[in-house]
Amino acid sequence: MARLDRVCVTGASGFVGTALCRSLLARGMEVTGVVRAGQTTPFPDNARYRQFAAGDIGPATDWAETLENVQAVFHLAARVHVMHDTAADPLAEFRQINTAATGHFARTAAASGVKRFVYVSTIKVNGEETHGGDKFAPSDAPAPQDPYAISKWEAEQELHRIAAETGLEVVVVRPPLVYGPGVKGNFARMLSVVARGYPLPLAATANLRSLIYVENLVDALIACATHPAASGQTYLVSDGEDVSTPDLLRRLAAAMGVPARLFPFPLMLLKLAGALAGKSAQLERLLGSLQVDSDKIRRELNWVPPYTLQQGLQATADWYRNRQHT
């Protein structure tokens, strides 16, 4: 699987999907980008890129035309984790898209002659946090705790069953928090808070968290699609440098040329305030640790992140500042 000419990327209009398509095209590959109806990517249809609007991806989606002559698939599309889910049965909704639809897609891919299926899962399959300097590893017993993570773990298991039945080469990648230009969600809110100079009671936080810059993740995904040793494996990926929340805030502030306004506050009182405000989960991501051991992918695929954490943070800060001035 050393050379790829034609690939398919689901979730192509998303944060990671857009970066992945851009890198694949830059490497001379032909790319089919799958998006939901009404969404688009910044790439014009041409001889090397075509866009496929799949509507709502589900267990009955017709993939045959999309997968024609495709050698490898990058499956990023998913029902993502939401803080306030209004579904009557959230787990059933997650399973419909993340588990059943993924299985259907993989079986169609195998029947269409696709050789390799790279599945972007989540570190949440391993669990929500680490303790005492321990790091999550691919060999750890999975411990998903919410419907999103459960559905992703079940999808991983289904993919390995399909691989055993069909010979499809499955590779699973579980990234931690992904950041970079175009980032949304909590990281984008963090950038906004730092840029506005709001004081934050996080100076006493002594946690450590693994992150991955989007361009590093893209590079790892392409390695997983091309390296012969990746078939059948599960990899955890990170930038390779873990960082505490206050250090992350200070680095972002320095990258944006603004002061980091941090002050110490008793963590127990902070957690109590978060619980009373119904923000315990969000606060735990700021106060808790989540460290990833990425040694396996480095050792087996000779993969080294092309960018450092500092380079990734600077690129993200530059993007944010430029966006504010346009």
The mean pLDDT value for 55-70 works out to: 84
Lowest mean pLDDT among 86-90, 108-112, 135-139, 235-239: 86-90
- Number of Cα atoms under 13 Å in the Cβ half of residue 144: 18
pLDDT confidence band for 268 (50 / 70 / 90): confident
pLDDT confidence band for 191 (50 / 70 / 90): very high
Q: Please indicate whether residue 289 or residue 44 has the higher confidence score (pLDDT).
A: 289
* Whether 174 contacts 236, CB under 8 Å: yes
Catalytic residue among 49, 148, 179, 213: 148
148 carries an active-site annotation: yes
| pLDDT for residue 105 is more than 90 | yes
User: Cβ-count burial of 273 within 10 angstroms (0-12 exposed, 13-18 middle, 19+ buried)?
Assistant: middle
| pLDDT for residue 49 is more than 80 | yes
Map out the domains of the chain as residue ranges.
6-181+211-239+291-306
| pLDDT for residue 214 is more than 90 | yes
pLDDT given for residue 256 in this prediction? 95
Q: What's the topology of domain 6-181+211-239+291-306?
A: Rossmann fold (3.40.50)
| pLDDT for residue 36 is more than 70 | yes
pLDDT confidence band for 266 (50 / 70 / 90): confident
The mean pLDDT value for 308-324 works out to: 94
* Whether 321 contacts 255, CB under 8 Å: no
**Beta strands 6-10 and 30-35, pairing class:** parallel
Q: Please indicate whether residue 51 or residue 23 has the higher confidence score (pLDDT).
A: 23
Q: Please indicate whether residue 203 or residue 276 has the higher confidence score (pLDDT).
A: 203
Cα dist from 47 to 84, 134, 272, whole Å: 42, 48, 57
- Three-state secondary structure string covering 190-244: HHHHHHHCCCECCCCCCCCECEEEHHHHHHHHHHHHHCHHHCCCEEECCCCCCEC
Nearest Cα neighbor of 172 from 180, 185, 163 is 163
Whole-number percent of the chain with pLDDT over 90: 70
pLDDT given for residue 304 in this prediction? 97
The mean pLDDT value for 212-219 works out to: 98
DSSP-derived secondary structure letter, 136: B
| pLDDT for residue 213 is more than 90 | yes
pLDDT given for residue 7 in this prediction? 96
pLDDT given for residue 81 in this prediction? 62
* Whether 220 contacts 239, CB under 8 Å: no
